[in-house]
Amino acid sequence: MSSHHESILREPLVTGENITYSKVTEDILVPVENKPNKAWWIGFIVSALGAGLWVFSVSWTFWFGIGEWGLNKTVGWAWDITGFVWWVGIGHAGTLISAVLLLFRQNWRNSINRSAEAMTIFAVICAASYIISHMGRPWLFTWALPLPNQFGSLWVNFNSPLVWDVFAISTYFSVSLVFWYTGLLPDIATIRDRAAGARRRIYSILSFGWNGSVKTWQRFELVSLILAGVSTPLVLSVHTIVSMDFATSLVPGWHTTIFPPYFVAGAIFSGFAMVQTLLLITRKVMNFENYITMFHIESMNKIIILTGSIVGVAYLTELFIAWYSGVEYEQYAFLNRVSGPYWWAYWIMMTCNVISPQLFWFKKIRTSIALSWLLSIVVNIGMWFERFVIIVTSLHRDYLPSSWVMFYPSWVDVGVFIGSIGVFFTLFLLFLRVLPAIAMAEVKLLLKSSSDQAKKKLIAEKAVNRVEAEYYLESLEKYDSISPNVAELQKV
Amino acid sequence: MESNKKYWKGLEELQNTKDFVEKNKNEFAEPLPMEEVLNEAGLNTVTPRRDFLKALGFGLGAVTLAACQTTPVHKSIPYLVKPEEIVPGIPNYYTSTFNGHSVLVKTREGRPIKIEGNPNCILSKGSLDAKGQASVLDLYDVSNLKNPVLNDSEVSWAKIDEFVKAELAKIKTSGKKIRIVSNTINSPSTKAVIADFTAQYPYTKHIQVDAVSYTGIIKANENSFGKAVLPKYRFDRADLIVSFGADFLGTWISPVEFSRQYTSKRNNTALQGKKMSRHIQFETGMSLTGTNADARLPLKPSEEGIALLNLYAALGGAVTGTKPLANNPNVEKAIALTAKELTAAKGRALVISGSNDVSTQILVNAINSVLGSYGTTIDLDNPSYQFSGNDAEFTEFINEMNRSEVDAVFFLNSNPAYEFNDTKAFTDALSKVKLRVSFADRQDETASLCQVIAPNHHYLESWGDSNPVEGYYTIIQPTINPVNNSRNAEQGLLIWADAAVSDYYQYIQNNWAKTVLAQSGTSWKLLLQKGSVTLPERSAATYTFSRELDSVVQTILAESNALAKAGDNAVELHIYQNVSVGDGKSANNPWLQELPDPVSKVTWDNYAAINAKFAEKLGIAERDLVEIKTDKHTITLPVLIQPGQAYGTVSVALGYGRTKAGKAGSEVGQSAYPFLRLVNATFHTASAASLTKTSGTYELAQTQTHHSIEGRNIVRETTLKDYLKDPNSGTGHAHVNHYDLWNEYEQPGHSWVMAIDLNACTGCGACIVACNAENNVPVVGRDEVRRRREMHWIRIDRYYTVNEDGNKVTEEKEIEKLENIDKVSVIHQPMMCQHCDHAPCETVCPVLATVHSSEGLNQMAYNRCIGTRYCANNCPYKVRRFNWFNYWNDSRFDNYMNNEFTQLVLNPDVTSRSRGVMEKCSMCVQRIQAGKLKAKLEKRTLKDGDVKVACQQTCPTNAIIFGDGNDPESEVSKALKSERTYYVLEELNVKPGVGYQTKVRNTVEV
């Protein structure tokens, strides 16, 4: 493929000088092959404490009962399903990046897909933990699966969106896991080849006997493509099904046909925000600036504006349809969201999800690492509130005013949620320690075609149009990791 | 024949070679490698194949067996000698009497588990109030004394008898007084026992005092007509009822009877006859009765007497010295209109007052006399004996004790240390009495001041009788062996009096044989079967009031002046009984504590109810704590903003603040008894007080926190005028298209449905307790109610509407803006699982734990439920209840089920639910099943009325009708055909199985 060059006009996907295949391996395997640095330890201890809180809070719930949460006779779901939907949504960016962008040959995905997929898997684990822990009798969770049983013909209720949910989440988790692991194989083999002793044996087993032959690579490409094909519908279907938990019910504020697209957009929105949150730190701490460039950051910010705007339109559509439907319960539900006792939650949601991403229209903000990170957190908060608004403000005042109540979380609710974030980061940090955070094999593919170095070489060889080369070099100014080489510019 | 054909196996055999012949000698042609197998590889292998298979087989089998969970062992001891009348699993019913009402006691395997009204009871006609329903739980109260107590130590009955007899003998010789203090006793046998005791100890006097007294009415009737009785009121004959503060549907004299009578003029039958009574209520706090009134006017206690005077004057009565109600023009206007209406309804009208003031009641008598009520709506010749306490006698008793004239006192069903308004005076006086005996079943406030506690039986353990109204006698028979070492109080008195017959059972039989049985010609056996004897009613004579009213007017005006004090914080305090806890006697009953007040929906507390505008003026908000202070007593209570409360008044419920009631009832709320005022020899409930905000806040545990319908048509009502024009007027039935996504369920056999008449439901809450008892519904306690997690399967939604200039304002935000919020109308809507045919809960359950039956029931399979709560979220009626905790095995819920002894009250036909499981109204599926089985055994089809659900059965007003919708002749089918029928949220097309009949208000346009 070395003969194939990407257009010089395109921004480089790998920056830095003297990047060789071995340098890629060296750079990316630093955290895997060395003792963790201080930053990692701090992060890990904090996360592990969070995970400990999760274990404590969930055990507390299991011991005493779901009554330890703040739920009541009217509000049967609150922080639990809010957390569940939030985590599932976050997972979506990973799948989108690994599957959809692969099918569309968006090569910039190559340096972020690994972490994004890992994020997906850990987010789905957190989401799944909520499914189990929100049950009144979690020890019977297998009953939600269509397993043969001693009760004869007793099956699950295939009408129930919760059953669809079980299928959706389990399919999603298994496909994501397989896809992620398949992608890891060549990289694990690389680690294996460089390791010695017990590590070598472990990675040897994990590498499934990868030998790097042409046939292996061919199969690898094929499997990746097939799995991408399988995963792509999941990007749409999983959150569609999650939204059906609400959309197929008759609770005013839930019973809306707009939910599937709106949830999918919201999921991708929150997912990219979370990828942003994670990678901006990872790239700094792990010195991955050459591989995760400003171009990646900016691209993801653009997706955030797009999906954020879709979500914003959905919010406004909901309000309009509620008014237009003429259904008084529906109208009240939305009036109550906007101006009821939980008005603050609605307006936090609106501000965080609709207004703040619009700031990314400004290139300065879009390309500022600090602001991008800050806004990604804001979006994550906003998306949590979106689910809270949908779930709690719809339930707490539905049809019969006699049953209208307020919901107040207990410390256990908070503990489980904060704890789930701890679990997520613990898993993510462990992942950074033992597996390459960037798909080395895939980045290496780009080295000869889309790296800054390759492009400069072309310029040096005068193999490209001068105007285009100038444009390219000028536009490099935008990237924080490269200072434009004036000399080089003049050489042209 | 042998075949001569020969087949050979090989050429060797054909040729019969030498080799072959040699080999053919042996069984096997080649030697088996036995040696090899046995010596070498075979025996050297660690596990030979066979052993391996054996071990594998055994191991698998053993593991399988070990993995099989052993079925939990529930030890039940079968009858060694089975009592003839007990069949395990089949309930027995016995007649008994609760509070003068004949009841049926359902027993299972020898333990009473449910009280039901006796259809033969002339007062209740088979219904029962919340207290009656809850009374069975008192039997299983762990706070009850296990043994008699002498000087704070448990002793045997012989010791008690020895001690008391010796003391009594001393007192007899000394000639000092003996007093038996009790609440109203209308039991002929108990009275006879007391008479026998008095004969033995001549200085004995029986003093009756009621926690909430009706002395005023009795004295007034004595004064007016020479008959010191509590009359029999006939609400079923009254077309116009005007009540001044009498909560006759909730707590006043005989609420079950009155509710039934009252509704008979307002229910579907009455409406079909195009008639409905009219009810005007003038009152201070919002009472249950006030919520049902067609017109309700708030007025202060100080204005009540004057309003009555003005009414009397407007009716043409001669009164001098009265004045118009300058501060309350609404009432003034209403009085004039009421007078007009009353005049038009002469002979069909009834005016009553809840006051205990003799003068006020004399005035009410005068009014009723003018209206010709005596002989029609008031019957003085068949009086009620439900209350006959005399306040003056009790206060005189305290004086006697203070003068050290009393040497012995016996407390029977009386707890003056709590119920008397001056506990200290009582305690001090009591300490001067030598022999103090209490018959209380627990160490209550008074019993703990006594040397001897001789615990009385619970009524379900004892023999007894009752004569609640003239000519009606009921029997109490035991339904269980005494649980504790208790004894009938009467038996004690008989023993101490050395009576000839000391066995109380024998005594009652003798007494009945002499009196009622002889008069009625019935037998003892028949009596036990029927539960009561009714003697022919006397004819009600007409009485005319002819007394001078001058002194009455003066007293009323003086009392009014005493109540109306000036000052910024001045407030008129009004003390009342609420429907659930009442006078506080059964304060330790968790069912009653958790029964929401029908008006405020508050559980587990009493509170200071004040008007919103008044609160605003004082700068008080809900949850604030306020100090209520009179010249005698001060308490601090949380505030409840009560719509309809008269401006400048505060209402506080009695029955709370018990200190020694038991585990559940002690330290709940504050006692309001000290606020009772003794005026002119009767206890008054109103006093002048001051109200000040104090620091701190307190959240009341309410089961309903939003009180207006927000303009939704979930409750529908009309006026009588509109109804007569168009019976559909309330339902607003438009043409509804029924497009269905779903298949219809076939209901080939029965289709269980329900009809609830909003015009009959008074909101009393008896159904809630009946349901609790029938279905083992957990009690969750105050904190959990605050978290909105009460478990009741049936609730009564109560909505307020403010009427302003003929408009109904139903939205909270609009109501807040209104200037005048006095004209409040209230509606009660019983709400339980609607058993929708297209149940939204059923489609969403992931594990099919809630499914539809072929008889139209929405059923819960508790064992299948995994607790996702999706069904509850998707229930538009919000009737599903989740077991947040293991209420029967969690020390934090020590009210009711978390106790092996109290668990004996549970209905064995209904599973108790584990934590994490959803539950809800099952339409008493166990009763349906029992009815079907009974019909099957009797080889007949199920008849309408064979199956009655618990809420329906206890309802004093028959507001709930249950039955088979497939049977066009069933009562419920007929009720649902009413033009007033509508279904709540029918536009959702969930096809609810419970139809509601619109509320009709008999309003009069001015």
Using a 10 angstrom Cβ sphere, with 0-12 exposed, 13-18 middle and 19 or more buried, the burial of residue B778 is: buried
The pLDDT of residue A491: 53
The pLDDT of residue B811: 79
What are the structural domain ranges in chain A? Answer: 1-18+455-492, 21-450
User: Residue B636 in contact with residue B536, Cβ under 8 Å?
Assistant: no
Q: Could you tell me if B3 and B49 lie in one domain?
A: yes
The string of pLDDT tens digits covering residues B101-128 is 999 999 998 899 999 999 999 999 999 9
A107: which residues sit within 8 A by CB, 6+ positions away? A13, A445, A446, A450
In percent, the amount of chain B with pLDDT more than 70 equals 97
A72 interface with B at CB cutoff 8 Å: yes
Distance CA B643, CA B599 (A): 10
- For residues B802-830, give the mean pLDDT: 80
Residue B41 scores a pLDDT above 90: no
Q: Could you tell me if B725 and B661 lie in one domain?
A: no
Task: Give contacts of B800 with chain A, Cβ < 8 Å.
Answer: none
Note whether residue B2 is domain-resident. Answer: yes
Q: Could you tell me if B735 and B679 lie in one domain?
A: no
Note whether residue B515 is domain-resident. Answer: no
**Domain count across chain B:** 4
A328 interface with B at CB cutoff 8 Å: yes
The string of pLDDT tens digits covering residues B788-811 is 999 999 999 999 988 877 777 777
Q: Give the count of Cβ contacts less than 8 A between chain A and B.
A: 166
CATH of residue B692's domain is: 2.40.40.20
Distance CA B957, CA B760 (A): 6
Task: Give contacts of A79 with chain B, Cβ < 8 Å.
Answer: none
CATH number (2.40.30.10, 1.20.1630.10, 3.40.50.2300, 3.30.70.2860) of A21-450 reads: 1.20.1630.10
The string of pLDDT tens digits covering residues B524-552 is 999 999 999 998 888 888 888 888 888 88
B878 interface with A at CB cutoff 8 Å: yes
The pLDDT of residue A477: 65
Q: Could you tell me if B678 and B744 lie in one domain?
A: no
Residues 805-864 (B) with a CB less than 8 A from some CB of A: 829, 831, 840, 843-848, 864
Residue B997 scores a pLDDT above 50: yes
Domain limit, last residue, from B47, B68, B89: B68
C-beta atoms of B846 and A160 within 8 A: yes
Q: Could you tell me if B877 and B971 lie in one domain?
A: yes
Residues 83-112 (A) with a CB less than 8 A from some CB of B: none
C-beta atoms of A400 and B714 within 8 A: yes
Rg for chain A (alpha carbons), in Å? 24
User: Residue A160 in contact with residue B870, Cβ under 8 Å?
Assistant: yes
Task: Give contacts of A339 with chain B, Cβ < 8 Å.
Answer: none
C-beta atoms of A137 and B798 within 8 A: no
User: Residue B1001 in contact with residue B762, Cβ under 8 Å?
Assistant: no
A248 interface with B at CB cutoff 8 Å: yes
Q: Nearest CA of chain B to the CA of A476: how many Å?
A: 54
Q: Which domain holds residue B61?
A: 1-68
C-beta atoms of B704 and A402 within 8 A: yes
Task: Give contacts of A134 with chain B, Cβ < 8 Å.
Answer: 868-869
**Nearest CB to A73 within list B864, B878, B886:** B878
Residue B615 scores a pLDDT above 70: yes
C-beta atoms of B848 and A245 within 8 A: no
**Nearest CB to A403 within list B878, B882, B890:** B878
User: Residue B276 in contact with residue B265, Cβ under 8 Å?
Assistant: yes
- For residues B835-858, give the mean pLDDT: 91
State the DSSP H helix or E strand holding residue B241, giving kind and residue range, or none if neither. Answer: strand B240-244
Q: Does residue A309 or residue B1006 have the better pLDDT?
A: A309
Low-confidence stretches of chain A (pLDDT < 70) are: 1-5, 477-492
- For residues B628-647, give the mean pLDDT: 91
Task: Give contacts of A159 with chain B, Cβ < 8 Å.
Answer: 843-844
User: Residue B832 in contact with residue B951, Cβ under 8 Å?
Assistant: yes
A166 interface with B at CB cutoff 8 Å: yes
User: Residue A104 in contact with residue A299, Cβ under 8 Å?
Assistant: no
In terms of DSSP bridges, do strands B624-629 and B686-697 run parallel, antiparallel, or are they unpaired?
antiparallel
C-beta atoms of A399 and B868 within 8 A: no
Task: Give contacts of B711 with chain A, Cβ < 8 Å.
Answer: 328
**Nearest CB to B916 within list A66, A71, A245:** A66
**Nearest CB to B846 within list A154, A163, A404:** A163
Task: Give contacts of A249 with chain B, Cβ < 8 Å.
Answer: 840, 844, 870, 873-874
Q: Could you tell me if B672 and B748 lie in one domain?
A: no
How does the average pLDDT of chain B come out, rounded?
Answer: 88
At residue A405, φ and ψ (nearest 5 deg) are -140, 175
The string of pLDDT tens digits covering residues B710-740 is 888 899 988 888 888 888 887 776 556 667 7
The string of pLDDT tens digits covering residues B907-923 is 999 998 999 999 999 99
Task: Give contacts of B846 with chain A, Cβ < 8 Å.
Answer: 144, 156-157, 160, 162-163, 166
State the DSSP H helix or E strand holding residue B222, giving kind and residue range, or none if neither. Answer: helix B215-225
Q: Could you tell me if B693 and B739 lie in one domain?
A: no
* Alpha carbons within 13 A on the beta-carbon side of B279: 31
At residue B694, φ and ψ (nearest 5 deg) are -115, 175
C-beta atoms of A402 and B798 within 8 A: yes
Residue B600 scores a pLDDT above 60: yes
Q: Could you tell me if B661 and B754 lie in one domain?
A: no
Residues 356-415 (B) with a CB less than 8 A from some CB of A: none
Count of C-beta atoms within a 10 Å radius of residue B231: 26
C-beta atoms of B876 and A73 within 8 A: no
SS3 A469: helix
The string of pLDDT tens digits covering residues B64-85 is 887 776 666 667 677 788 888 8
Q: Nearest CA of chain A to the CA of B713: how many Å?
A: 10
Q: Could you tell me if B889 and B782 lie in one domain?
A: yes
Band of pLDDT at residue B14, cut at 50, 70 and 90: confident
The string of pLDDT tens digits covering residues B671-716 is 999 999 988 888 999 999 999 999 999 999 999 999 988 888 899 9
Residues 917-976 (B) with a CB less than 8 A from some CB of A: 917-918
Q: Could you tell me if B639 and B768 lie in one domain?
A: no
CATH of residue B274's domain is: 3.40.228.10
* Alpha carbons within 13 A on the beta-carbon side of B578: 34
C-beta atoms of B706 and A399 within 8 A: no
Q: Does residue B22 or residue B769 have the better pLDDT?
A: B769
The pLDDT of residue A1: 37
C-beta atoms of A135 and B840 within 8 A: no
- For residues B358-363, give the mean pLDDT: 90
**Nearest CB to B705 within list A161, A249, A404:** A404
Give DSSP secondary structure letters for B389-441.
--HHHHHHHHHHHHTT-EEEEEEES--HHHHSS-HHHHHHHHTT-SEEEE--S
Domain limit, last residue, from B383, B413, B439: B383
Distance CA B271, CA B274 (A): 5
User: Residue B858 in contact with residue B946, Cβ under 8 Å?
Assistant: no
B990 interface with A at CB cutoff 8 Å: yes
The CA dihedral of B681, B685, B688, B690, to the nearest 10 degrees, is 140
Q: Could you tell me if B906 and B937 lie in one domain?
A: yes
Q: Nearest CA of chain B to the CA of A239: how many Å?
A: 18
Write the ipTM: 0.90
**Nearest CB to A137 within list B714, B867, B874:** B867
Chain B residue with CA closest to A138: the answer is B866
Residues 172-191 (B) with a CB less than 8 A from some CB of A: none
Band of pLDDT at residue B753, cut at 50, 70 and 90: very high
Residue B1006 scores a pLDDT above 60: no
The token pair at B521 is 């010609």
In terms of DSSP bridges, do strands B149-150 and B240-244 run parallel, antiparallel, or are they unpaired?
unpaired
A79 interface with B at CB cutoff 8 Å: no
Q: Could you tell me if B619 and B745 lie in one domain?
A: no
Chain position carrying tokens 């709320």: B669
B877 interface with A at CB cutoff 8 Å: yes
Residue B769 scores a pLDDT above 60: yes
Note whether residue B528 is domain-resident. Answer: no
B751: which residues sit within 8 A by CB, 6+ positions away? B855, B856, B964, B965, B966, B993
User: Residue B692 in contact with residue B572, Cβ under 8 Å?
Assistant: no
C-beta atoms of B870 and A406 within 8 A: no
Q: Does residue B27 or residue A49 have the better pLDDT?
A: A49
A229: which residues sit within 8 A by CB, 6+ positions away? A99, A103
The pLDDT of residue A3: 46
C-beta atoms of B878 and A250 within 8 A: no
State the best of A403, A404, A408, A413 to mutate against chain B, taking most chain B CBs within 10 Å: A403
Residue B281 pairs with which residues in a beta bridge?
B243, B296
Note whether residue B464 is domain-resident. Answer: no
In percent, the amount of chain B with pLDDT more than 90 equals 44
Residues 759-788 (B) with a CB less than 8 A from some CB of A: 784, 787-788
C-beta atoms of B712 and A401 within 8 A: yes
Domain limit, last residue, from B702, B733, B759: B702
CATH of residue B833's domain is: 3.30.70.20
Q: Does residue B321 or residue A129 have the better pLDDT?
A: A129
